[in-house]
Amino acid sequence: MIVVTENASSFNPTLFEVQSINNNGMSEQDAINEMQNSTMDGATKISNDTITLDGETAYENIFLVNNTHETDMKVNHIYFEKNGITYAITLQAREIYYDSEKSNFDIFLKSFKVMNN
């Protein structure tokens, strides 16, 4: 897992996170469908789309979350499969900063590459 946060000293939890996920014997499509249909407690899904990430079709869900700090967060979950492994990417920022962070998120996504072991 890779996690990068900014402004940790103040409550501006901008986050880039990448995880590889064990599909537990599910097919690639079943694993993606399960993630695509997932929900978040206290969140409202505001969009879903497909994008291309590292040459693969990726599935994107964006949620608006009201957290315990009474600060609305925008959370972007992106799922894709490459080389038999499912990856989950989370991008998040306070809603009021999300648009200004979008260029950083775009740089991260455009430069993201899965490296073979």
* CB-based contacts of 29, cutoff 8 Å, min separation 6: none
5-15 pLDDT, tens digit per residue, is: 554 445 557 88
* CA distance linking residue 88 with residue 34, whole number of Å: 12
Architecture of domain 2-111: 3-Layer(aba) Sandwich (3.40)
Q: In the block, which residue shows the tokens 């490296």?
A: 115
Q: What angle do CA 96, 100, 106 make, to 5 degrees?
A: 125
Domain boundaries, the chain: 2-111
Of 104, 88, 112, 79, the residue nearest 12 (C-alpha): 104
pTM of the predicted protein model: 0.80
| pLDDT digits 0-9 by tens, 69-78 | 667 889 999 9
Task: List, run by run, the mean pLDDT of 10-residue segments along the chain (117 residues).
Answer: 48 80 79 76 87 92 79 89 87 90 91 82
